[in-house]
Structure 1
């Protein structure tokens, strides 16, 4: 009876590792048989010992200390291995929001693909390896594009002479996870027949919903009157609220920019510089919401009588360290994340580690 093959454990190298005149960069993925890892006591205090790992990219084996590595799941290792260069791979691991979102994607999900300067709508038709490797094969997303695109790298669902999915000529593309983002679609009409191979509608808004969005620090409110597919996103059609002096013409706003009115918090949820609250007004609850809700400070203008909005200059206190300064570029809700989030483009940030998306 043949001996059972040992499971392989995967790690990502956190620091550059020089050997003679060669440097193996941080972000390289290393592999080691689980039996060797356990046998040599790589956990606990024994983790200071050097163990021999195989560096997947370089196809060499080196002795490395455990504290220079961070363990990955098999799924994480496959997704990260498809990304290059190593520096970008490490950044995606440290700022793990995209990596977490990628693990939630499945076949037939509607997505957008970032390809050079374009954002192309498509549908996931394949998730898996396209190049076989003895050590670790990268996990790619095979996308059927829903628009005609004159770009390089297009195919009919095949790679290296092997077909992985079927689509019309020059409408398929294989990309790593950091090039793919979930895309919302308008919900199907009630009673409409559903094709399991087609993306399912999943827009969180319906006609009649009261919504709001921010434009140049102004809160705009209205009622949803329709929803349409805008290609890269869903366009929400809404009528502005006439009681607020808004124009009556219907507007179209990208889904990512809109929030339901009943999810808005009243003025005062975010503390401006120098403001304080009285006991019992909910500050304790706000302090559990995260760094953006705790410490947004308006720029040079006086505090407005509404929430901070897109284009507001803010400061963010992160983990009791030096504050980071940035500009709000987006306000809304993220899949799988409770509460309303602000997307901030940092102008200055602490230098203790790579920047992270804040929510």
Structure 2
């Protein structure tokens, strides 16, 4: 391969048309310079480029490609999302500044929504993946001064040290979370943490136009100086008018009471003091709004939040609402205004707006509002049906359609088992879509499932709790279970019910029992993994657990299943057997098939026999059924430890033959694999789910139908879907390193996947089309 310096780099600026529709806008690609010159001579607009993470060429029109310098490509590669790369591309000045940064530069670095002062100590990659010519470049920053100890590490990332600093004083960040500090002799740059200026990414300095707040009114002026005081930072401002109305005058003002005018115009004018357009306000709507109401208001886009406080603020006429916003970092406060706290919320999630500019959240109509309070009995008549049939959410649409609060399926009254199961099966997969269109006598249940749950989930990203409750009521009416509207169930119980009893789906799993020397077929809708205690697994993968369970129970697969639902082993009725289980994102079931060509574990050729006694022998491999060709079997069982083994002969499938001259068919048997698309987890009787929604290692989302709640007994739950790319990073971690991870210290929600995994859902891309 040519060196990385001999490459030309591009970013794809738009989604290519078919047949390259699988390529997304925002991907980085490259081509060798010499090859580029050869194609230029052909005077063609098509270039054979290679996208990062892929091995083969992709021919794209040059109009879709924007050239990048190598450093620019490396900086953009550090951004996980293609959308983030395209957004960063719109700010070429920031990209150019980041390209010029070097170790030792003083910067501001963003972490958990706040900006801290620091010094760059490391610039480079954080992974050892080398199949691509370049990898993402990150900045390692050591926090300075009063911001020391507010970071995330000591200069180490996944047990590798990139620079040294004190505990929790190091941060690794892409260039979009780095701002260079411009030093001015008259005033050193300061990190402002005023409640109103928390969204500032620029330090306050001499010469800035600012606004500060007096006892009654807002005042304007220019920064003259900034000094430390025993009570904190103080800013000397030359005012436009003093409090007596005279021009000029200088005043020392606490830094917390000062905001740059450009930020005030940008954030506060738009968010706090802006009258709303037609249809977004009105006294009728405002009269309905109280503390705890879900509301929306119009800024540059429609923004949603929860009312946490209503009252009057200094300097603002009329009634004001203090909102906690659904979208993090969309606000300018943590519930404080001018140093006084009015309510509590996370930084950057609080916002004060005119009460008259708010209206009830239109995602909850008046009908739904009544239903939240249990005021309707005519359930079926009030369903809001989504008539068209909607396909699963595409990878590129997940971030816009699913991520956020009030996304997914809303939980209510012990429904989490059903919410998580429905979300896992239908949000991003079509493997069980046949349920939605089969002929059934339970047409009402099928209509509710399709029109009121699956279609709205896929089209709007949200399903109200009423739709799920109506499904539960219908199941209860049909006397399948008298407690479906009140009690918690197991997700496999629910899935088996709708697949087997409601829709009469052919069982997707056909098992072949080989106990007693005879073969018996049994069909089922899911498989419960049972483990004997004669094993040495400590940190098992799902692959190992399934193989051990099949071995212990003398089972094989009769055919490749379109959908394989696995529940994990339990010790007794409710206790986990393993503290951690590693999800196998790809499940190789070749060795589990009763009929079909098998591969010799030693030479890779077509196997002719199987040895059950060799299953636990780690000489050949750590796990799995052991198949051998004739020659390898003879050598293996010549050893004194295995001479009493009794290998069984395999029946070769049609088209394969045993060669007397070479000992075996030289062709390599094909591998049958299933892909993981969802995991249900349980902790303290509450089910949540993870969904693998795309091809990238980091394409994971986490769903909780009861992530938050408004009100008490007469309130309702707020579901939430969040991206969790950290899952992919842990899955790539060596097993020994992963075993040493302390669960409570694992990043994001990853701990719940590894420690609380209960049900794993796999699909076959080739077989699901025929079910």
What TM bracket, shorter-length normalisation? 0.5 to 0.7
| Aligned match for 1:257, one of 256, 260, 268 | 260
Aligned to 2:162: 164
Structure number with higher relative contact order (C-alpha < 8 Å, ≥ 6 residues apart):
1
Gaps of 5+ in 1: 190-201, 260-306, 315-324, 330-359
Distance 1:120 1:138 in 2: 23
Aligned 8 A contact 2:20 2:58 in 1: no
Deviations 1:324-357 (A, max 9, x none): x969x9xxxxxxxxxxxxxxxxxxxxxxxxxxxx
1:29 Cα offset (Å): 0.4
Distance 1:148 1:84 in 2: 27
1:150 Cα offset (Å): 6.2
Aligned 8 A contact 2:109 2:178 in 1: yes
Aligned 8 A contact 2:149 2:166 in 1: no
Aligned to 1:75: 71
Report the 3-state secondary structure (helix = DSSP H, G, I; strand = E; otherwise coil) of the residue aligned with 1:251: strand
Distance 1:15 1:244, change over 3 A: same
1:221 Cα offset (Å): 2.8
1:6 Cα offset (Å): 6.9
| Structure-2-length-normalised TM-score | 0.28
Aligned to 2:53: 57
Aligned to 2:111: 115
Report the 3-state secondary structure (helix = DSSP H, G, I; strand = E; otherwise coil) of the residue aligned with 1:17: coil
Distance 1:47 1:20 in 2: 18
Distance 1:185 1:258 in 2: 21
Distance 2:114 2:106 in 1: 17
Aligned 8 A contact 2:9 2:67 in 1: yes
Distance 1:52 1:181, change over 3 A: same
| Correspondences of 1:239-258 after superposition (within 5 Å) | 240=239, 242=242, 244-245=245-246, 249-253=251-255, 257=260
Deviations 1:13-59 (A, max 9, x none): 112236669612100000110010011117xx9241x2321101344
Distance 1:167 1:66, change over 3 A: same
Distance 1:248 1:10, change over 3 A: closer
Aligned to 1:46: 43
Aligned to 1:17: 16
Aligned to 1:37: 36
Aligned 8 A contact 1:28 1:56 in 2: yes
1:162 Cα offset (Å): 4.0
Report the 3-state secondary structure (helix = DSSP H, G, I; strand = E; otherwise coil) of the residue aligned with 1:138: coil
Distance 1:150 1:18, change over 3 A: farther
Equivalent pairs counted in the alignment come to 246
CA RMSD of aligned residues (A): 4.4
Report the 3-state secondary structure (helix = DSSP H, G, I; strand = E; otherwise coil) of the residue aligned with 1:15: coil
1:115 Cα offset (Å): 2.2
Aligned to 2:531: none
Aligned 8 A contact 2:123 2:140 in 1: yes
Distance 1:253 1:46, change over 3 A: farther
| Structure-1-length-normalised TM-score | 0.55
Deviations 1:94-144 (A, max 9, x none): 343432332343332332222233333322112222324342111111111
Aligned 8 A contact 1:110 1:185 in 2: no
Distance 1:79 1:93 in 2: 11
Report the 3-state secondary structure (helix = DSSP H, G, I; strand = E; otherwise coil) of the residue aligned with 1:32: strand
Distance 2:84 2:143 in 1: 25
Aligned 8 A contact 2:98 2:175 in 1: yes
Aligned to 1:311: 269
Distance 1:59 1:169, change over 3 A: farther
Aligned to 2:210: 213
1:244 Cα offset (Å): 4.9
Report the 3-state secondary structure (helix = DSSP H, G, I; strand = E; otherwise coil) of the residue aligned with 1:46: coil
Distance 2:106 2:63 in 1: 39
Aligned 8 A contact 1:28 1:57 in 2: no
Aligned 8 A contact 1:6 1:33 in 2: no
Aligned 8 A contact 2:205 2:223 in 1: no
Say which structure is richer in helix.
2
1:235 Cα offset (Å): 6.5
Distance 1:111 1:96, change over 3 A: same
Aligned to 2:236: 237
Aligned to 1:89: 85
| 2:159 is equivalent to residue 142 of structure 1 | no
1:184 Cα offset (Å): 5.3
Say which structure is richer in strand.
1
Distance 2:3 2:52 in 1: 23
Distance 1:204 1:150, change over 3 A: closer
Distance 1:18 1:29 in 2: 17
Aligned 8 A contact 1:51 1:66 in 2: yes
Deviations 1:223-278 (A, max 9, x none): 6243359xxxx97433546585378641145898279xxxxxxxxxxxxxxxxxxx
Aligned 8 A contact 2:149 2:167 in 1: no
Aligned to 1:106: 102
1:166 Cα offset (Å): 2.0
Report the 3-state secondary structure (helix = DSSP H, G, I; strand = E; otherwise coil) of the residue aligned with 1:77: helix
1:90 Cα offset (Å): 1.2
Report the 3-state secondary structure (helix = DSSP H, G, I; strand = E; otherwise coil) of the residue aligned with 2:11: strand
